[in-house]
A and B are shown apart, each in its own frame.
Chain A
């Protein structure tokens, strides 16, 4: 046997000077000029993609610091804050000052905060309860699970839902924006799956020690499903932070209840260039207002999401891409 191996090695021996640079799937590969070309094009293309993704928000940032009267007529991307030739500094803070003084907008932020916090918390509790009940081995867990799943398939639609909420007296109040959309059957199903993966022995041990169901839910099962719970919470927070549509339906006239996104929509609608040109003594900083508020409203999510990237990506993979 040994001789065969030695012979084989001799036959296939390539002296070092003749060996090519090829390594198995390793870092150095034989580069053809075609491969290099491809790489260059690809990297350049990706750079364009990066720009396409980042530039719009950059544009918002720079616009918010520009001079409003010039900005009105500027077409195209603002690469750097544009100022009047006589301006003292690079940045015009007028828009932000106006933002700071605008009561309505701050109430918008407060409202969004309330809605996000309220909806997420309520939704989370319901998710845990729903998921727990379905994940138990009991007679009713299957029918109940079916009931939840059916909600994903059949919808009453816009009007019927509106009428139910109206009948509950919630139209025109904050509750319409906290309770109705706070959770969905799919989250409960996901939580139930996570709970089912918790080793039964830990639950049994708790039962033997006399733990009641609430204890088991929040102290045994949930802590072991923390990553999935985090994903659900993150998704809910982002969803509600960016939401405007329910508010436009349920509290259309009550500005003091508007979430921030609705305010943005309003300001955008008001800031048509035509209205500025017609006014006698326009405050051009008002035109900046939309950029300032967009920036401030988007900043929290944009700054925070990189921190939770791990969870977000994991969540997508676990849950499949929804929407």
Chain B
């Protein structure tokens, strides 16, 4: 289905003209299809790079990254059916919420009635249908993130990438959205990869958890395995 596997994968990003910094160092891991996979680690450990790599957005790489049997370089973004959500504002400011959510479907040239149906369904599912005709600048940050989730969800993606999307939200809203994500995962069954530095997030959501530090994979396993891990870094990370 949508199995992702990293094999000895390294990623570099450009610091200056000729200087590159190693961002991921020989990562080998497998993300099973339809799983809820969480990547934890401190800031700067390479989580974002990992996600960007799946999108094909890292220029210089080494090693293999295979999605569904194809190497990531050979995948066209359009056909990949992936969605990506981060902390940054990514809604189109000049379009209404409805148009924002409809945008991916229009790219895929779905016909008008189906677009209408799907957008309304998704907005309803996330309980933001009353916002449909508002513009992003009229929304609160929490509402904006929900619209972003809607936009990500509406094209029924096989892979959903989340890059610390809720770290700016207050705890109640965070909880609510975490639950929403869990429900989405249960209903639509995409492969979800969720990056965060918050352990609570990881333990609540993750079926499988990977711990990254400084571009290296420190540990990987289920919640219990991580909790009982005896690796130094993992223990120190857990105690924060």
Contact = CB atoms under 8 A, between A and B. Distances in A.
Interface of A: 199, 201-202, 204-211, 215, 219-220, 223-224, 226
A208 B88 contact: no
Given A209-B155, A210-B77, A204 B90 contact: yes
Given A215-B107, A223-B94, A224-B94, A208 B77 contact: yes
Place the interface of chain B in its size category: 20 to 34
Contacts of A208: 55, 77, 82-84
Nearest to A200: B88
B58 interface: no
B188 interface: no
Contacts of B77: 207-208, 210
Contacts of B90: 199, 201-202, 204-205
Contacts of B89: 199, 201-202
Contacts of A209: 83, 103-104, 107, 151, 155
B86 interface: yes
B55 A202 contact: no
Given A202-B89, A205-B91, 6 more contacts: A199-B90, A201-B90, A204-B84, A215-B107, A224-B92, A224-B94
11 contacts: A201-B90, A202-B90, A202-B91, A202-B92, A205-B84, A208-B55, A208-B82, A210-B104, A211-B103, A211-B107, A226-B94
Given A210-B77, A210-B78, A224-B94, A201 B88 contact: yes
A211 B151 CA distance: 14
B91 A210 contact: no
A208 B82 CA distance: 7
A63 B55 CA distance: 70
A105 to B, nearest CB: 42
Q: Is the interface of A mostly helix, strand, loop or mixed?
A: helix
A211 B82 CA distance: 13
B93 interface: yes
B15 interface: no
Pairs of residues from A and B, 4 with the lowest C-beta to C-beta distance, nearest first = A210-B78, A209-B104, A223-B94, A201-B90
B35 to A, nearest CB: 21
A1 B84 CA distance: 58
Nearest to B108: A210
Contacts of B155: 209
A147 B37 CA distance: 48
B88 A199 contact: yes
A205 B161 CA distance: 12
A42 to B, nearest CB: 42
Interface in B74-117: 77-79, 82-84, 86, 88-95, 103-104, 107-108
Contacts of A201: 86, 88-90
- Interface centre among A201, A205, A207, A215, by most chain B C-beta atoms within 10 angstroms, is A205
A215 B108 CA distance: 12
Nearest to B76: A210
A223 B55 CA distance: 26
Contacts of A210: 77-79, 104, 107-108
A223 to B, nearest CB: 4
A284 to B, nearest CB: 56
Interface string B20-42: 00000000000000000000000
